[in-house]
Amino acid sequence: MSWRRSISCHARSWRAAVREAREAQRHWKANKEHLKAEWRAAQKAGQVPENPGPPPSGFALLPWLLMGLGSLSNIFQGRTPNAWIGGLGLLAFNSLYIYVVFNAFDRKRRAATATRTALALMGLVTTALGLGYGGNWLLFFPLFGLATGAILRGPWLGRSGMALAVFSGCVAAFHEGWDGINIAYATFLSTMVTAAILSLSEAVRELRAAREELARRAVEEERLRFSRDLHDLLGHTLSVIVVKSEAARRLAPRDMDAALTQVADIESVGRQALTEIREAVTGYREGSLSTELDRARSALGAAGIEAVVRRSGPPLTPQSEALLGWVVREAVTNAVRHSGADRCEISVTGGAEHVRLTVADDGSGAPAAARPAVPGIGGTGLKGLTERLAAAGGSLEAGPSPRGGFTVTARLPTSTEELTAAALAAATSAGSSVNAASATSAGSVTGAGSTANR
């Protein structure tokens, strides 16, 4: 009876072990499918970078040297007359083949004179071996065609491949007669197929690199756009809030109603700033020149600066209004912060071809004779405005005025066609995109003293 109990206990333990193994297998399969599904979802979302594999190299073409084993066998079996000449020829061909195919995967080395010379020497060795021995030695012509296709990729490939095929067929016909057509066909096929496959592989890798570069530039451009908008929005808004807060503090002891008016303006500016920041984040913010001029009057008045606004000319396009609104915002912010002026004049003059905006104060700017106005002079805000207007075909100049003070002048084309053409030209010619624009702006934005603080 004891042995029966022992067998029963072992059977139960085996069944339990089998159940645990099956459960573990089911759990492993479920986890595997879950991980595969997550991986596919991440790839579709672009969160997992594609693995392009190792870069191509000459190792991919080395196995074709096995076609020369027949010639090597003939040497060892004594079927090749003057075997030492055949051995030297085989060694020279293999050495040149390895050198050529390893250079074929680098564009500069592929076009180098040394590589083309090695390919020509390889052709001479192939011709000598084919004419001298025939038979298996004729298989070096397809190998030579493979190396030729790897090196010659371009408009001359078809002619070169056809000429090489005809030449190899003629050499093969010297020994094999009409069977030389097979060598000619194999040579032409190896030349063209190798060139097509390598060219396609190179194009795919270049397209992948271009896609990654475009994605990187798009991220940089969006980051720069957001930083510009945030600087222009918060810089102006916070300056207005500070000025109005100081005005409210001064007015509170003697005129509570006026102080409460300033506090209400602060609340209104804050609410408007929240809205503008949300619009800037989503990229849909559109500026209005009239709105910015009204805000400029309010900000300058709260700072104790007399505001004089003049506007003439035909209505402007929405794009021009938005750009000039940015200029008004930045120039007025600088006047409130740094100028110490008593008067600020803002004039908008529209013409048949261009519109000009001028913001001039009578603050403590240096005389024009000491420091002439230069395009885009100033800090981060004026740098960004210089880039914005340049992309739209306009210009920005900022510097001391002849009678003292500081003047900002912006010019833009009035027609929508000119604005669109300038924007497209800027987008097309920006070879380095945001980095080039930043470098150009940085090169043109120089200044010192009180002007640099602007």
**Angle at Cα 279 formed by Cα 274 and Cα 281, nearest 5°?**
95
**Measured distance CA(76)–CA(63) in Å, rounded:** 21
Q: Is 242 buried (19+), middle (13-18) or exposed (0-12) by CB count in 10 A?
A: middle
Predicted pLDDT at 298: 82
Predicted pLDDT at 373: 43
HEC sequence for 133-157: HCHHHHHHHHHHHHHHHHHCCCCCH
pTM above 0.85, yes or no: no
Predicted pLDDT at 143: 92
**Measured distance CA(396)–CA(297) in Å, rounded:** 22
Question: In a structure prediction context, what are the per-residue pLDDT tens digits for the chain, which is 454 residues long?
Answer: 555 666 666 567 667 666 766 776 676 667 667 667 766 766 666 554 555 555 677 788 888 888 888 888 888 888 888 888 888 999 999 999 999 999 888 888 888 999 999 999 999 999 999 888 988 888 999 999 999 988 887 777 888 889 999 999 999 888 888 888 998 999 999 899 888 888 888 888 888 878 878 877 877 777 776 676 676 667 767 777 888 888 888 888 888 888 888 888 888 878 777 777 776 665 555 557 887 888 888 888 878 888 888 888 888 887 888 888 888 888 888 888 777 888 899 999 888 788 999 998 888 754 333 334 444 444 456 777 788 788 888 888 888 887 778 889 998 887 655 555 544 444 444 444 434 433 333 333 333 333 333 3
Q: Give, in order, the Cα–Cα distances in Å from 391 to each of 45, 405, 439.
A: 33, 28, 14
Predicted pLDDT at 443: 38
The DSSP string of 88-149 is: HHHHHHHHHHHHHHHHTTSHHHHTSHHHHHHHHHHHHHHHHHHHHH-GGGGGHHHHHHHHHH
Predicted pLDDT at 142: 93
**Cα–chain center distance at 404:** 44
The alpha-carbon radius of gyration of the chain (Å, integer) is 39
Expressed in angstroms, the distance from the first to the final Cα of the chain is: 102
**Measured distance CA(410)–CA(225) in Å, rounded:** 20
